Structure 1
Amino acid sequence: MFLKSLKIEEGESLIRNISFRKGINLIVDETETRSRKESGNNVGKTTVLRLIDYCLGSSGKNIYQDPEFRGRSNSVVENYLTGNNVCITLVLKDDLDIAASREIVIRRNFLQRSDKILEINGEPVKSKDFPECLKSLIFNSSVSKPTFKQIVSKNVRDEKNRLINTVKVLHPATKYEEYEALYLFWLGIDIDVSDRKQKLFAHKKIEEDLQKRLKKEKTISQIKQSLLVVDSEIEELEAKKDNFSVNENYENEVQQLNLAKAKINRLSTQIARIELRIELIKESAGELEDEISNVNVEKIKSLYEEAKFLMPSIQKTFDETLSFHNGMVLEKKKYITNELPSLESELLGLNKQLEDYLSQEKALAASISKSDTMNEFQSVVLKLNQSYESKGSLEEQKRLWESSMDKLGAIKEELKKIDQGIDSLDDKIQKRVSEFNKFFSKLSNDLYGEKYVLSADKNPKGYELNISSVLANPGTGKKKGEMAAFDLSYILFADHMGIECLHFVLQDQIENIHDNQITSILTDFVENNNCQYVLSVLRDKLPSDIDVSKFEVVSLSQNDKLFRV
């Protein structure tokens, strides 16, 4: 799938219509930066990449909230996009050389509710269905993991993680099991167990946390031994009780008292179990609150601003990063505390029942206590009831332990089967990596005289992809070259293996790559292979031997910005 065109319209007015070609596509900023009087910012060269990303499902906020705008919102662009009927149309095409090949037309605007436009091939699509529709149309895949956004993350390199990492292109908090699903998909191994595996790891952590809490009270072995002692006490007390000879009325009252105490025992056990569950949930929620409240915002913000001064390429503001982090924490808290209302309602009802039976017990005990001759019998019955209460509490703890161990055992067994199924694909995985390296090592060698190698390594949570090179810590420019070699090699690999893929790479900040490598990438490789390389660049940062006019798809300047506002 290739980029065919990107159109920007305001109502009936056409603002831009950018046509893309096979090979190199340059989004050129004409700002003269060598004089040091101009920065090259704010004309919209990176925004073109982000508009494409927006049509592929991003939130679009980075179009006007970005370090490119010196860490604050570009209010002119934001107000223009959200206050007018600005519509973006992206056309993707299976083959630019075949006029009749399939096209996917995506239209989006920046308005909300009834004014919102979100269409694929002229048909309105709900926001929640949008990524799945694109995933099905482009990659012919219906599995839930990896997500469409995760799959295309390496094709749009405009954000921090994707500009400094070659394969770890997702959010820093992304777990190994999520990366495994993505990496296998890149290799053309589209399995339907990745989503299940990620959910199992989440449930596994819940049960492990519960067992840690239970262990603070008593281990399962201690509970079993305590139950043996209590059962022995009950047997002795029951024998003593049977030796008493009491009148019929008294015995009837004692039976009612025992029945009330038994119900009190069961209710107390249920209440203890629910209170433990509520306490665990609140404790977990409190830990999540600490993740927000324990952050020294001003101190870290100061460090972040200093880091941004030293590294202008940082693509996310501190507030965005903090907001994203806090948002994730709040979502986790919302999920964890979801069942609190029903538990608290159930607890309220049980406590009401307990109060009723406690009143009944008190009345019966008062009636029985009037008999002076039955004090010893009453003492035995009291001890017996206490023993039964202890037994009920211990049995509930035992039940929680055994239930958790059964669940954890089942989770581990299912994870083991899933991993065995994935491990059985190891030969296929390694062969796919080997095929990829035929392209990757050759292109990296052509660029730098070094053969980069991709490897698929197994860790306890799944497969991960790693890249090795002669230099342990290549410089920024060389890292950009590694990314370019990886992204472009992947397109060749995917075509070779018959894997559906996007044939375009959107790259920002290519100026960090040395002139020799830029020339090699652009003229020697991209122009001679079935791919598109879309670059946002400053004209005066390109090598002098590059014929810019041949590859330029849009020219921007301080006098002719992207949105012309």
Structure 2
Amino acid sequence: MQLISLVVSKSTTNEIIRKITFNPKGLSLIVDETNKVSSGSNIGKTTAVKIIDLCLGAKSVSSLYKEKDTGENVIVGEFLEKNKVVAELTCRIDGKTHVFKRALYKNGKSLIDGEPIRSATEYRSDLNKIIFNNLNDKPSFRQLVSKFIRLENANEAALLKFLGTYTNNYEYQAIYEYLFGIDESKSENIDIISLNESIDKDIEAIYRKNGVASVREFETKIGLMKEEVEKFRKSYSEVTVIEDYETKIRENQSVLSDLKKLEAEYSKINLKQELMKEKIRKEEEKIFAVDTKILRQIYEKTELVLDKQLCDFEELEKFHNGMINKRIAMLQTTLNELETESKIIYDELQKLQKVYEKNYVSFNVELKDKFEEKYNDYAINKIKLENFINDYNYIIEKFQEKENNLSKKVEKNNDKTKKGKIEERLSHYFKELTSKIIGEPFAIVLNEDSDEDAFPVKIIGMNGKPGTGIKKAMITCFDLAHINLIIEMKYHMPVFAIHDKMENIDLKELAGIISEARNFEGQYIFPILSDRIDLMGIKEEEVVLRLSANDKFFRI
């Protein structure tokens, strides 16, 4: 599959917004002409790549105007919706021209060669047949084509795991074996492997829940639990009543009677204390607590009216308060006696309550607990055993289900000679590219078929694994080497690589990439900053799109 052109237009007026014609081989560059003062972001470099991806089945058109970091560009979103903007990607596959049309607004239609497609699922399925000649849709079209179009994932961590780290190794095995043309049968077993992996997780969860690690441990533990349950059943059935139970009941009834009498006496004396306190309060209220100057004036006026000698005012006041204080003192003495008596009764009451608890409450709890303990031991362990057996039976069923699934697997084409040849050719191209672009040769190694849990591809260098500083250039080497293999082996696959986020790559490595891409039989599309064009000696015909702050992709 070779890209011919991308046309973006307004379906309301048929006005063409952008037309990009790709070079049939070598470089097709998108140039950012913003200067160092103005920002090169949001001019549409990534937009151009995203539209190609949308024409090839990417999920949502909202990616054109929504970003995780910057939020939503309302102007672009409204422009696409108002003008019903559409994109047409024209390609050449096996000498035949195909046009993939995608609406860039919500709920728009998709067409393949002029024929409307009913759903996004059908659109991707048809693309899988046309572009990869993949009739069973395993691996999925988006899993395969993402290897050729690297957007946000075109970073150092996505060198080999281009679908992200959440994709399982067995899925990557099927994808890479398909992309490298080694074997297609493995892809047909993805659903079975995925289903059995889910079953394994269920089994592991049941093991952890029951504290075992295997079926044999399960069976051993069930045997031990059966013995324990029988022991508890027998112990419960043999529980007998304590011999002196009736005697203890009568003794404690006597203590309870004494306890109630003492409680009544304690309540009675507490009531007396409260009454005594009330009397003291009332006596205290009778003590003079008014302004003595005013009383003295009244007293002197009375003395004049009576024309008769009265008691001295101070003597009268002293006499009155003295009488009250005597009564208060007497009442306080009585209250103190009541409090002392109350404390004695309280202490006796506490002692008697302890005797009662010890001789009656504790005895009855002990007896009750003896029955309940034996019964609970039996009942709890019986339920535990039943649950354990149910989990064991579930495990056995799941193992049988796994066996049934495995019986449906397609036999893998184990042609080691073919695999060895593909590894040799792929590694050959990769070593050439890494030597010229990075300055150090690296090789590609494919994992052994017997290691089903391993990642399918490894990159080996003379000094170990590649460092993070060269991985961006390594992505280019890896993808171009793969396309060289596709061209040599005449696989029914794309022969283009589209990379985004390449602006900050090292100049030395960028020079090597451009030099090698000029001799590349496939198509290599990526953005470049204008200030690097002169440094790299970029030719005008190698530029397929120029964008700037004054001429953004949608021209708005």
TM-score (norm 2): 0.65
Distance 1:548 1:77, change over 3 A: farther
Q: Identify if the C-alpha distance between structure 1 residues 402 and 423 changes in structure 2 by more than 3 Å, giving closer, same or farther.
A: farther
Q: Hey, what does 1:61 align to over in structure 2?
A: 62
Give the structure 2 partner of residue 72 of structure 1.
71
Aligned partners of 2:523 and 2:153: how far apart in 1?
A: 22
- Which of 207, 211, 230 in structure 1 is aligned with 2:207? 211
Give aligned-pair identity as a percent. Answer: 28
2:191 aligns to what?
Answer: 195
C-alpha separation in 2, matches of 1:150 and 1:134? 12
The reply on whether 1:529 has 2:503 as its aligned counterpart is no
Counterpart residue number, 1:10: 10
- What is aligned with 1:506? 498
Q: Aligned residue for 2:39? A: 39
Q: Which has the larger radius of gyration?
A: 2
Q: Counterpart amino acid of 1:223?
A: I
C-alpha contact (below 8 Å) 2:152/2:501 kept by paired residues? no
Counterparts in 2 of 1:158-557, with a 5 A limit?
Answer: 158-160=151-153, 162=155, 164-188=157-181, 189-191=183-185, 192-215=188-211, 219-227=218-226, 394=385, 397-408=388-399, 411=402, 421-422=411-412, 424-425=414-415, 428-458=418-448, 459=451, 461-472=453-464, 474=466, 478-523=470-515, 525-557=516-548
2:98 alignment partner AA:
I
- Cα gap change, 1:471/1:50 in structure 2, threshold over 3 Å: closer, same or farther? farther
Aligned to 1:468, the other structure's residue is in SS state strand
Query: Is contact 2:429-2:481 (8 Å) kept?
Result: yes
- The CA deviation at 1:406 is 4.2
Q: Relative to structure 1, is the Cα distance of residues 204 and 474 closer, same or farther in structure 2, using a 3 angstrom cutoff?
A: closer
Distance 2:469 2:35 in 1: 22
Distance across 1 between alignment mates of 2:390 and 2:502: 61
- Using the TM superposition, give the Cα deviation of residue 163 of structure 1 relative to its aligned residue in structure 2, in angstroms: 5.4
Provide the residue aligned with 1:84 in structure 2. Answer: 83
Structure-2 separation of matches of 1:105 and 1:86: 16
Q: Establish whether residue 138 from structure 1 lines up as the match of residue 139 from structure 2.
A: no
Alignment of 1:119-158 (within 5 A): 119-125=111-117, 126-158=119-151
Q: Secondary structure at the match of 1:480?
A: helix
Deviation at 1:205, TM superposition (A): 0.8
| Distance (Å, rounded) in 1 between the aligned partners of 2:61 and 2:544 | 22
Question: Equivalent residue of 2:120, what SS?
Answer: coil
1:307-343 Cα offsets, whole Å, 9 max, x none, are: xxxxxxxxxxxxxxxxxxxxxxxxxxxxxxxxxxxxx
Number of residues of Structure 1 aligned to a counterpart in Structure 2: 405
Structure 2 residue matching 1:501: 3-state secondary structure: coil
Unaligned segments of structure 2, at least 5 residues: 235-373
The 3-state SS of whatever aligns with 2:42 is coil
- The CA distance in 1 between the partners of 2:142 and 2:500, in whole Å, is 18
* Residue 176 to residue 416, structure 1, CA distance change in 2 (3 Å): farther
Q: Does the 8 Å CA contact 2:446/2:456 hold for their aligned counterparts?
A: yes
- State whether residues 144 and 195 of structure 1, in contact with CA within 8 Å, keep that contact through their aligned partners in structure 2: no
C-alpha contact 1:511 1:541 (8 A) present in aligned 2: no
User: Would you say 1:560 and 2:543 are equivalent positions?
Assistant: no
**Shift of the alpha carbon at 1:437?**
0.7
Give the conservation status (yes or no) of the 8 Å contact 1:89–1:108. yes
Are 2:43 and 2:548, in contact at CA under 8 Å, matched by a contact in 1?
yes
| Kept in 2: contact 1:476–1:512 (CA 8 A) | no
Q: Residues 157 and 506 of structure 1 are in contact (CA less than 8 Å); yes or no, is this contact kept in structure 2? A: yes
Please, which runs of 5 or more residues in structure 1 have no aligned partner? Answer: 96-100, 236-382
1:44 alignment partner AA: G
Change (3 A) 1:16 1:446: same
Q: Distance in 2 between matches of 1:546 and 1:477?
A: 24
Change beyond 3 A, Cα 1:234–1:45: closer
CA deviations 1:497-542 (Å, max 9, x no partner) are 232221111122333344444344334x333332111111111123
2:180, 2:482 within 8 Å by CA — same for their partners in 1?
Answer: no
1:15 shift after superposition:
0.7
Q: Paired residue for 2:33?
A: 30
The one-letter code of the counterpart of 1:190 is E
- The CA distance in 2 between the partners of 1:196 and 1:232, in whole Å, is 46
Change beyond 3 A, Cα 1:520–1:102: same
Q: Supply the AA of the counterpart residue of 1:555.
A: R
Rounded Cα–Cα distance in structure 2 between residues aligned with 1:81 and 1:112: 9
Between the aligned partners of 1:550 and 1:414, the Cα distance in structure 2 is 55
In 2: Cα distance, 1:418 partner to 1:433 partner? 25
Give 1:138's aligned amino acid: I
Aligned CA-pair RMSD: 3.5
Contact 1:509 / 1:537 at 8 angstroms: preserved in 2? no
Report the secondary structure of 1:495's partner residue: helix
The verdict on how the C-alpha distance between 1:518 and 1:175 changes in structure 2, with shifts beyond 3 A counting, is same
> Cα deviations across residues 106-146 of structure 1 (Å, max 9, x unaligned)?
11113344xx2111122222112222211111111123432
Q: TM-score, normalised by structure 1?
A: 0.64
